[in-house]
Amino acid sequence: MVIPRRDTTVSEAARVDRPAPESLGYDLVDRPASPPVPNGWYAAIDTASLPAGAVEPFVAVERELVAFRDGHGDAHVLDAHCPHMGAHLGGGSVSDDTLQCPYHGWRFGGDGTCVEIPYSTTRIPSRACVTSYPVHERDGLVLFWFHATGTPPTYEVPTFDEAHDPDWTGPTVFRREFVASLQDMAENNIDYTHFFFVHGRNALDESTSRFHTDGPFSTVVETFEDEGLTFTRFTYGPGVALLRIPDLATVLTTTTPIDRRHVRLLWHFYFPPGVGDTPEVADAIVEGVVGDHGLGADQPIWRDKVFRERPLLVRGDGPIVEFRRWYEQFYEGSRPADAGAGS
Ligand code: FES
Ligand SMILES: [Fe+2]
């Protein structure tokens, strides 16, 4: 199974491998700052990669973090550095329901509070705690909630049927890290024109496509009539989305900002009967989505581009203004109110 596409060499020049501009160390004046990290649920790690007693350090939302699973099977996400003398808790170990620092053995509960200083009779100082992030584990993922002001979760990520249907196969796990700003990636999904120039697909008839919003959720439906393909993407805040390609695959996609210019993808592909039991078909679908004509074609664009607060939009650019209005809600508390989406 190969997802049909228009043959093109239009974007070959953009695919030339070269370092991200900022990594060259030049002091440039024409590269405005990327948007801050939006508030929302993000993937910390696969459930399968965090067995009982495991401790896994990771970097996300411009911070060093650590995930661990306690003796009751509950997953937790904490800031990585110990309040005592700053050791990295990623080198620690799980003891009962606590994470024990590798340096002097202070023990922290899943809520980040220090519950024991094993060598001291001093009362535990009230400031002896690390920031703890709300965790929500479902459908094979450990999600954590980030908010610039520490506000508790304002929405939930729904589950989906394919993950629990015994007739479906999955997940096939896909991971990748690269240079991109999170919002640039997100806008790609409603940037109809780029499908032609970047992905070599036939031009998308805007009248066959839709963009809906519902609070922190949005839905994009894109129909490529010539190819008989419809992509429906349900987006749950800035970090999690579900992509359905009827009869081919459902993909749980998470995109986690490492910092303002780097992202980490953790995607789970699920395949329906007739697809999942034919590995070469399933492989071709994954390749179509993430290979040179899919995600791989977008990456050089995201790596090199700057984020325009006020892009020069023209008719045919798709619902980018509507998308930005929707996306602005996730920046609450993370940037001045007057630094809006622009249009
Ligand atoms: S630095 Fe963590 S216990 Fe001392
Ligand atoms: Fe794209």
Measured CA to CA, the distance from residue 17 to residue 304 in angstroms comes to: 11
Cα torsion at 14, 264, 199, 4 (round to 10°)? Answer: 140
Q: Given the structure tokens 């003891």, which residue do they identify?
A: 95
User: Model confidence over 14-41: pLDDT tens digits?
Assistant: 455 677 777 777 888 888 889 999 999 9
Q: Please, where are the H alpha helices in the chain?
A: 182-188, 194-197, 279-290, 295-304, 320-327
Q: What is the pLDDT of residues 189-203, one digit of tens each?
A: 999 889 889 988 776
Q: Which residue minimizes the CA distance to atom 1 of ligand 1?
A: 85
Tokens of 137: 């584990």
Beta carbons within 8 Å of 159's beta carbon, 6+ residues apart: 138, 139
pTM metric for this prediction: 0.92
pLDDT at 8: 42
Could you read off the pLDDT of 116-145 as tens digits, one per residue? 999 999 999 999 999 999 999 999 999 999
pLDDT at residue 292, rounded to an integer: 94
Q: How far is the CA of 297 from the centre of ligand 2 (A)?
A: 7
Section 333-342 average pLDDT? 57
The 10s digit of each residue's pLDDT in 206-240 is 777 889 999 999 999 988 877 788 899 999 999 99
- Reference 46, options 26, 67, 60, 29; nearest CA is 67
Which residue, among 90, 319, 65, 93, has the nearest Cα to 187 in the 3D structure?
319
Q: Report whether residue 104 contacts ligand 1, using a CB cutoff of 6 Å.
A: yes
For residue 104, the CA-to-ligand 1 centroid distance in Å is 5
CB atoms within 10 A of CB 262: 20
- CB distance 33 to 49 below 8 Å: no
| Nearest residue by C-alpha to atom 3 in ligand 1 | 104
DSSP-derived 3-state class of residue 8? coil
The pLDDT of residue 339: 46
E strand segments, 93-193: 93-95, 98-100, 107-108, 114-116, 132-133, 135-138, 141-146, 169-179
Residue 106: count of CB within 10 angstroms of its CB: 26
- Taking the alpha carbons at both ends of the chain, their separation in whole angstroms is 40
Nearest atom in ligand 1 to the alpha carbon of residue 86 is 1
- Residue with the smallest CA separation from ligand 1 atom 4 is 104
Cα(151) to ligand 1 centroid in Å equals: 28
Distance 12 CA to ligand 1 centre (A): 51
Mean pLDDT across 154-158: 97
Looking at the CA of 294, name the nearest ligand.
2
For ligand 1, whether the C-beta of 88 sits within 6 Å is no
Angle 309-314-315 from CA coordinates, rounded to 5°: 135
Residue 333 φ/ψ region, left for φ over 0, alpha for ψ in the -120 to 50 degree band, beta for the rest: left
Local structure of 42: helix, strand or coil: strand
Contact 204, 188 (CB under 8 A): no
**Residue 82 beta carbon below 6 angstroms from any ligand 1 atom:** yes
Q: Distance, CA 86 to ligand 1 centroid (Å)? A: 6
Which ligand gives the minimal distance to the CA of 99? 1
| DSSP, res 88 | B
Domains of the chain: 51-133 (2.102.10.10), 160-331 (3.90.380.10)
- Cβ neighbours of residue 83 under 8 Å, at least 6 residues apart? 114, 127, 128, 129, 130
- Tell me how long the chain is: 343
